[in-house]
């Protein structure tokens, strides 16, 4: 009888709502704000721009703002080559082109100092540009992932041997409009897609890939677009990326795809900034005109 009484007490307490929950208090360490950078400097740029911000703690409720009084300097092989200034219209720091940017093998170092935060810096070695051997549009020459007949684009590049190489491809429409007495130039990006599982999407309509499957050989890459590629004046741009730049673009796309998905694995965006967070990347660009 005593056994059954004890069993009833156990069942009653075991079914209590509090028995299935536990409160654990966690002391969250105080966050030390650090500088956050985001800048991609390419040989195709006419102006170099850099986003400078600061990290925030998970419980930080202060209004978000961008520092306007940072000291930003770019160095080449240890020698300062240009300073950046705050631009209110873009909310970024910017500098116009300067002589000598893009030298293959040069070490570029970006130094940023924001009052009240530790100094931050990042370094990148400029890769060698890679020639586009062929860029050929094939009207209705490709099948999309949805099974539609679309315009195809075949691109051949000769990969330098003996070193890991990373690339990004971007297709641009570039033309002029004449409205006497003025002539206006315009440019915009065309969305490219591919059925190649070794090619990944990235920001700014970039498609990125490494030479892991064609190291030291000529690669023939196939892309497609729902735009009519044979009826526009276009330019194909090939970026030779650094490994850090490739890892950032790849991880950022993975992060965007996983964000808000409760079934996805958490993704940490790659950072190469010492004393802070973010990315500083350089690239060597080559272009080939299509449909002149």
Residues 118 and 245 in one domain: no
Number of compact structural domains in the chain: 2
pLDDT at position 180, please?
86
pLDDT at position 8, please?
55
Residues 262 and 142 in one domain: yes
Q: Output the domain CATH number for residue 102.
A: 2.60.40
Residue that finishes a domain, picked among 98, 125, 152: 125
pLDDT at position 98, please?
76
Residues 119 and 173 in one domain: no
Would you write out the chain's pLDDT as a tens digit for each of its 292 residues? 555 555 555 555 555 555 566 787 776 667 788 999 999 999 999 899 999 999 987 777 777 789 999 999 999 999 999 999 999 999 999 998 777 799 999 999 999 999 999 999 999 999 999 999 999 999 999 999 999 999 999 999 999 999 999 999 999 998 888 888 888 888 899 999 999 999 999 999 999 999 999 999 999 999 999 998 988 889 999 999 999 999 999 999 999 999 888 888 889 999 999 999 999 999 999 999 998 6
Domain ranges, residue 209: 132-268+284-290
In a domain? residue 143: yes
In a domain? residue 12: no
pLDDT at position 11, please?
56
pLDDT at position 288, please?
96
In a domain? residue 240: yes
Distance between CA 41 and CA 122 in Å, rounded? 13
pLDDT at position 65, please?
82
Residues 150 and 206 in one domain: yes
Residue that finishes a domain, picked among 125, 150, 182: 125
Residue that finishes a domain, picked among 58, 90, 125: 125
Distance between CA 198 and CA 122 in Å, rounded? 28
- What does each C-alpha distance from 145 to 75, 185, 194, 225, 227 come to in angstroms? 45, 34, 8, 11, 15
User: How does 215-247 read in b/e, with b if 16+ C-beta sit within 10 Å?
Assistant: eeeebebebbbebebeebebbbbbbbbbbbbbb
Distance between CA 52 and CA 85 in Å, rounded? 11
């Amino acid at each position: 009888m005593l056994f059954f009484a004890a069993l009833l007490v156990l069942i009653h307490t075991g079914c209590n709502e509090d028995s299935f929950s536990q409160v654990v208090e966690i002391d969250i360490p105080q966050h030390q704000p650090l500088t956050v950078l985001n800048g991609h400097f390419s040989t195709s740029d006419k102006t170099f721009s850099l986003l400078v911000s600061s990290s925030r703690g998970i419980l930080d409720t202060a209004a978000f703002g961008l520092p306007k009084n940072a000291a930003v300097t770019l160095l080449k092989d240890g020698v300062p080559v240009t300073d950046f200034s705050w631009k209110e219209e873009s909310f970024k720091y910017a500098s116009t082109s300067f002589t000598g940017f893009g030298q293959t093998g040069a070490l570029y170092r970006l130094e940023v100092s924001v009052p009240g935060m530790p100094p931050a810096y990042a370094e990148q070695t400029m890769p060698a540009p890679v020639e586009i051997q062929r860029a050929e549009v094939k009207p209705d020459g490709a099948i999309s992932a949805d099974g539609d007949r679309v315009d195809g684009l075949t691109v051949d590049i000769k990969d330098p041997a003996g070193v890991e190489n990373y690339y990004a491809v971007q297709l641009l429409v570039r033309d002029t409009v004449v409205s006497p007495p003025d002539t206006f130039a315009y440019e915009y990006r065309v969305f490219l897609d591919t059925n190649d599982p070794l090619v990944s999407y990235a920001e700014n309509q970039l498609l990125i890939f490494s030479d892991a499957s064609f190291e030291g050989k000529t690669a023939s890459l196939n892309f497609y677009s729902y735009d009519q590629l044979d009826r526009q004046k276009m330019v194909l741009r090939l970026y030779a990326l650094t490994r850090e730049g490739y890892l950032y673009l790849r991880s950022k796309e993975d992060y965007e795809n996983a964000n808000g998905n409760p079934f996805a694995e958490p993704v940490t965006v790659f950072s190469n900034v010492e004393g802070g967070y973010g990315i500083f990347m350089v690239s060597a660009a080559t272009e080939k005109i299509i449909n002149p």
